[in-house]
Chains A and B, each alone.
Chain A
Amino acid sequence: MNKEQNTNAESFEQCLKCTVCTVYCPMVAVNPDYPGPKQAGPDGERYRLKNPVFYDDALDLCLNCKRCEVACPSNVKIGDIIQSARLKYSSKKPKLRDFILANTDIMGTMASTMAPVVNFTLGLKPVKAVMDGVLAVDHHRTFPKYAGQRFETWFKRYALKKQEEYTKKVSYFHGCYANYNNPKLAKDFVKIMNAIGYGVNLLEKEKCCGVALISNGFKNQAIKQANLNLGSIRKAVGRGEPILTTSSTCTFTMRDEYAHILELDNSDVRSSIALATKFIFELVDAGKVKLVFKDDYRKRIAYHTPCHMEKLGWAIYSTSLVKMIPGVDFNMLDSQCCGIAGTYGFKKEHYEDSQKIGESLFRQIRDLNLDMVATDCETCKWQIEMSTGVQVENPISIIADALDVEATQKANR
């Protein structure tokens, strides 16, 4: 039996009660109120199937990091069992705060329209106090800044026309963060793809992948958005274009959570959805494209493996790409949860656990005396920047900064 043959929530019969998952659960280590993945997952599921009354609200503490699944020697989908149970049995109504955190598109559209005002306001102490007191969004948290111009707007205005020059095309799922908060990342992606001879298309329609909706209990809305995304993705795949992303969590959600948690059939397009670093590395590895880097780029960089990247098993592509830059002094951080888990760590009730979980990672980062941390997840970026003061960048932005664009264009003509 391999991982492939064990993909549904009923697979808990394979659980041997060996407790290896509990060893690697970041929450159990800091908060004994959480019963642990074995108890919350396969053990609890037996009871819940008998009678939903056995559902335990402590399951809300699960980070959905999936590190239990990665560790399990018997291939039990422990994390999926827990997430599905939360959506199915939890009687707790999501709060206004959860709605705000989960609806990244609505918030992003409103906020980026009035970005300077919103960024200013969200940074004010009295506003933070009100958010902490009324909404229970922890006051330690700094909201990511909203960009004045969304990536989509920029792309349509300044980059769309240029894409016609290319015969080879890819589609880009930018996600909320690259669109509203960090358009530079999306622009960096376009810059690299163009330099290696690929044109970029946006999807016909794109909504948030839905990861925050799933974790905040809005399953129906998540299904709606997933179906809209899958529709656009199918059209792009029909044109022969792979769907590339720059966020490990969006990628993981669309490839795995759509099928396992939202119970949608994405099998026809799943293998077409990939992180840009995987796509680019494979082209370079096969000798189909060349990357030429600047001579004077010098940085000491460490890579942090986001939980969903660990689950995808794709850290090798991002790290191999960053290691290709001649001036990079590369370090690998221990693979562990940083504690933020998307919107989880923003909630006042989770702030303390969130910081405790990441503590050893922050210590390792501080001790390494780095110029920069590289990681493929935006929420890990916020957490590590807030907790260590060290700058964090997506590998795509690092490649883009180190790339000699003209020489790369020439090499790929």
Chain B
Amino acid sequence: MRFDTVIIGGGLSGLVAGIDLVRKGQKCLIVSSGQSALHFFSGSFELCNKENDPMKAIASLDACHPYSKLGAERVEALAARVKPFFAELGLNFKGDASANHWRMTPLGVMKRAWLTLDEYATFESETEMPWKKVSVLNIDGFLDFHTSYIAAALEAKGVEVAVASLSAPQFDKLRESPTEMRSTNISKTIIGEFVDALAEQINGKTDGSDAVLMPAVAGLTGTAEVERLKELVKVPFHFLPTLPPSTPGIRIQMMLKKYFQQQGGVYMLGDSVTEGRFEDGKLKSIKTLNNEDTEFEADNFILATGSFFSKGIVASQNGVAEPVFGLDVDADSDRTNWYQRNMFDAQPYMTFGVATDEEFRAKKDGRPVVNLYVVGSVLSGFNAIKDGCGAGVSILTSLNAADQIMNL
């Protein structure tokens, strides 16, 4: 079967590249071996959160960092395309690349962010809060959102906090299986007429508050329920992230996938690439586990398989390897150098990934595979946590690869 581009990996990177290519008329296939890191989405994308000015922070990154390879000018140009890219799909973000804003984690810690999904709380300052008094509401029995941490963090910044809980027979039913009372299962109940009833209950618990903060537990399949809540709740209404799984993250995954398919893209979930046929420094075709002898041929390929968690690279006692094609990896061969004893230090293994040339083309046996572009977390040379750049690298390198394929 023939495609213009075959993308291996169907998370944020693979879908961004795929959507950009189908929009430009390409016939694309995405092969995905399981659901992606978007299921653990915090509500925000980071470009580089080491400083308030992300572009200034990017200028000081190592030469091996994907951003350094792209160059500052290119990073800025690509970053400017991201908000409109998502807005066209009905996903609205706040923020831009000129300055980071602040967001709050489920444990009440403040972190810098580049783009945050509209419905989440964001802050201009790390220490000064925009409210005198807020209501922090949780769903009765929901264990992935801890009001005490949130309240303590806000109170330390001089905000008066009123904690209350929301109850309903729908939630009681979910509590019968407490370990499975996750944000996504709650969101499946917050639909239809219940949205209005819930808004009314929220309004009854906002006594004198400037804003309401709630765990992100609504809007699994679209933004309609969130919009309705915003409309009906009488004070400003914001989400805070929950512990995983992330309802808004899954919404993003589903909306990206659906859009890709509607534009004619083919998305194969739950499959694995088993082998590739290489000829004259090019990847000609791949085979997959489910499709056995069927060859999927393409002019170009994109590797977007993620890092260790998604098994884009795997570590064994003897080394680090790229499991799909056996591509070259940038990794220390001495295992004792992989990690620092203090868990909170920058861990060297975090920078391991597939080795690429200056054009982000994968290297195999020391030579570039000229039609195999590598994007996102499977790339080497950066520490997504310490540099605060995971989503930025994913989105920007994917848009860049799509441009390269289209000769833009």
The reply to whether A311 and B35 contact each other, CB–CB distance below 8 Å, is no
Within 8 A of A (CB), among B153-198: 173-174, 176-177, 179-180, 182, 184-185, 188
- Given known pairs A22-B185, A332-B261, the reply for A73 and B33 (CB within 8 Å) is yes
Q: Does A265 contact B (CB under 8 A)?
A: no
Cα(A38)–Cα(B34), bound, Å: 15
Q: Does A71 contact B (CB under 8 A)?
A: yes
Q: Nearest Cβ distance between residue B27 and chain A, in whole angstroms?
A: 12
Give every chain A residue within 8 A of B266 (Cβ-Cβ): 316
- Interface bits A298-328 vs B (CB < 8 Å: 1, else 0): 0000000000001111101000000000000
The reply to whether A23 and B271 contact each other, CB–CB distance below 8 Å, is no
Give every chain A residue within 8 A of B188 (Cβ-Cβ): 29
Within 8 A of B (CB), among A27-61: 28-29, 32-36, 38-39
**Residue in A38, A39, A70, A332 whose beta carbon sits within 8 Å of that of B270 in the complex:** A70
The reply to whether B173 and A32 contact each other, CB–CB distance below 8 Å, is yes
Interface-side segment among A1-9, A109-117, A400-408? A1-9
Q: Which of A33, A39, A311, A313 has the most chain B CB atoms inside 10 A of its CB?
A: A313
**Residue in B35, B173, B274, B292 whose beta carbon sits within 8 Å of that of A271 in the complex:** B292
- Given known pairs A22-B180, A285-B1, A332-B261, the reply for A72 and B34 (CB within 8 Å) is yes
Cα(A75)–Cα(B289), bound, Å: 13
The reply to whether A71 and B311 contact each other, CB–CB distance below 8 Å, is no
- Given known pairs A1-B323, A20-B245, the reply for A35 and B177 (CB within 8 Å) is yes
Q: Which of B35, B179, B270 has the most chain A CB atoms inside 10 A of its CB?
A: B270
Give every chain A residue within 8 A of B174 (Cβ-Cβ): 32
Give every chain B residue within 8 A of A32 (Cβ-Cβ): 173-174, 176-177, 180, 185
The reply to whether B270 and A71 contact each other, CB–CB distance below 8 Å, is yes
- Given known pairs A4-B274, A23-B182, the reply for A310 and B269 (CB within 8 Å) is yes
Q: Which of B184, B250, B273 has the most chain A CB atoms inside 10 A of its CB?
A: B184
Give every chain B residue within 8 A of A71 (Cβ-Cβ): 34-35, 269-270
Give every chain B residue within 8 A of A313 (Cβ-Cβ): 268-271, 288, 290-291
19 A-B contact pairs sorted by A residue (CB < 8 Å): A2-B272, A2-B323, A19-B245, A23-B184, A32-B185, A35-B179, A39-B179, A39-B180, A71-B35, A71-B270, A73-B33, A73-B34, A73-B36, A74-B34, A310-B270, A313-B268, A313-B270, A313-B290, A314-B291
Known: A24-B35, A75-B34. 17 other contacts (CB 8 A): A2-B324, A3-B33, A3-B270, A16-B309, A20-B245, A22-B182, A29-B188, A32-B174, A38-B180, A39-B177, A69-B270, A70-B34, A73-B310, A74-B34, A75-B33, A332-B261, A335-B269
Residues of A at the B interface (CB closer than 8 Å) are: 1-4, 16, 18-20, 22-24, 28-29, 32-36, 38-39, 69-75, 271, 282, 285, 310-314, 316, 332, 334-335
Residues of B at the A interface (CB closer than 8 Å) are: 1-2, 33-36, 39-40, 173-174, 176-177, 179-180, 182, 184-185, 188, 244-245, 250, 258, 261-262, 266, 268-274, 288-294, 309-311, 314, 323-324
